[in-house]
Amino acid sequence: MLGGSFWVALLRNGMGGAMMMAVFFLLDRPRISMKNAIICYIVFWAAVVWGFSIWYYLRPYVFVRFAGFFSLPVIGVFCCMMSGDSLYLSLYKISLSFYLLSLCVFLGVDISRWWFGESIWIDILIRMILMAVILFFLQNKFRKCFFDNLEFLREEMDLLSIVALVVCFIIAAFVAYWPSDRDFSILNMLRILVIMFMTGMIQYLVFHLYIHLGREHCYETEKQLLKMNEQLLRRQLELGRQAEEDAARIRHDVRHHCLLIREFVKAKDEDGLLDYLEQYGEDVGSTRPEPICKNNAVNGILSVYGGYARNRGIQVDVKVEIQQDLPIRDIDLVAILANIFENAIHGCVDSQVKDPFIRLSAVHKGHKLVIQCQNTCASDISLYNGVPKGRKREGLGVSSIIKTASRYKGETDFTIKNQSFFIRVLLNISREKAEFTEL
């Protein structure tokens, strides 16, 4: 800080506040409408600028030492309250804003002191140029990359990584906001520049680490979906082989039916023939499978897995009331139901009880879809952090169920009681929420 009048401090504070808020705003999706958010940002910016400038006018020495650090919690709390993102992501953005502002302050002050005789206006000019370059880069280069990978950042950020990143930024910014007590030399200037550069590299590497981890988890989810599709195809092949056996049996039975009909015709026993044909028609009609629900995708997946489970000696009870035109993707419905049914079948087989069972229900009520399943399970299944896990199996498909439900702001609940496994999935499927989730 190179001093100056109240109006010079007002200009510097206005530039600094605008820099932090602009960086945060460019990378944020406010929880309120864009127009109202802009108005709130402008009003708060004006209040903060005047408040800090009055502080400078009353206590300039204290202001120089502590204003930079006070700007982080003051502006940070406001920006986090305005943001529609998670707390961890908001902390990341405000830390990045504070770091970029610290970089502008450091370069502006030290370049002015080294080459331009501590000129106040050169300091302000350098800050303006740096801020314009940073905001231009954020708007035209970084912002698109940030929003394209926003889902990965939301999923991968945790408390430990954010605390480490914030502490790293604060340590680096410390050198920019405590300039009066250090000896001014080219060596100190280079040392501080290296610290700022290393902090920026850490931020850059952490950002790409989040993206890499998110993509890795995404690939893992896709791998699970491929496994699920492979299992579904195997079930369909098994049903196809069974259908071929049934067709061969029907062809064999048709020969006997034709012989019997021929005998009725030879004996001119029309009443006996009509009775036999009526019984045959009732028998054929009773073997026709009834549709499980009106949704074609759900009907297909439940028919395949229901038939497979019954062939394994598992009692299956399915009650599904799902319409065709739900605002939810068929692939998501299949991912949830197929994984639930697949895990239920594994649970029944592993339980080795006499009469295993699966009871599945899915009901659409208003803007919510409730899916519940109860099945027999092995005694070694337990819950860790609310997620099922067994000694022999890691809960294939459970992560896929949780991930798919989260796309619709849904909830999952797992319970184990009396060697029975319960799963409950709640999806919010109003059209507005479905469209918002897909952004």
Assign 132 a pLDDT band (cuts: 50, 70, 90): very high
- Most confident of the ranges 114-118, 182-186, 345-349: 345-349
**Cα separations in angstroms, 281 against 33, 269, 287:** 65, 18, 10
**What integer pLDDT is reported at residue 435 of this predicted model?**
39
Structure tokens at 138: 């954020």
Amino acid found at 6? F
**Residue 358: is it exposed, middle or buried by C-beta count within 10 angstroms (0-12/13-18/19+)?**
buried
- Kindly tell me if the per-residue pLDDT of 126 is higher than 80: yes
Distance of alpha carbon 273 from alpha carbon 294, whole angstroms: 38
The pLDDT score that the predictor gives to residue 220 is: 74
Residue 298 has which token pair? 């759900």
Local structure of residue 412 (DSSP, 8 states): E
Report CA dihedral (365, 370, 375, 380) to the nearest 10 degrees: -160
Check residue 289 and give its pLDDT: 53
Among left, alpha and beta (phi > 0; psi -120 to 50; other), residue 385 is: left
CA distance 239 to 304: 7
Among 375, 386, 383, 373, CA closest to 419: 375
Measured distance CA(245)–CA(306) in Å, rounded: 18
What tens digit of pLDDT does each residue of 270-329 get?
777 777 677 766 665 555 456 667 777 777 778 878 888 888 889 989 888 877 777 777
**Res 241 pLDDT > 50:** yes
Residue indicated by tokens 């035209």? 140
pLDDT value of residue 283:
64
All structural domains of the chain with their residue ranges: 6-222, 225-286, 296-437
DSSP SS3 for 422: strand
Residue 295 three-state SS: coil
Q: At residue 167, does pLDDT exceed 60?
A: yes
Average pLDDT, the chain: 79
pLDDT, residue 439, reads 32
**Long-range CB contacts for residues 44-51, cutoff 8 Å, separation at least 24:** 44/78, 45/14, 45/17, 45/18, 45/21, 48/13, 48/17, 48/74, 48/75, 49/10, 49/13, 49/14, 49/17, 50/10
Average pLDDT over every residue of 389-395:
54
- The CATH code belonging to domain 296-437 is 3.30.565.10
DSSP 358-396: EEEEEEEETTEEEEEEEEE--TT-EEETTEEE-SS---T
Task: Tell me the per-residue pLDDT of 200-222, one tens digit each, with 9 for 90 and over.
Answer: 787 788 778 888 887 887 777 67
What's the CA gap between 420 and 327, in Å, rounded?
32
Instruction: Determine phi and psi for 295, rounding to 5 degrees.
Output: -85, 120
pTM of whole model > 0.75? no
- 3-state SS assignment for residue 313: coil
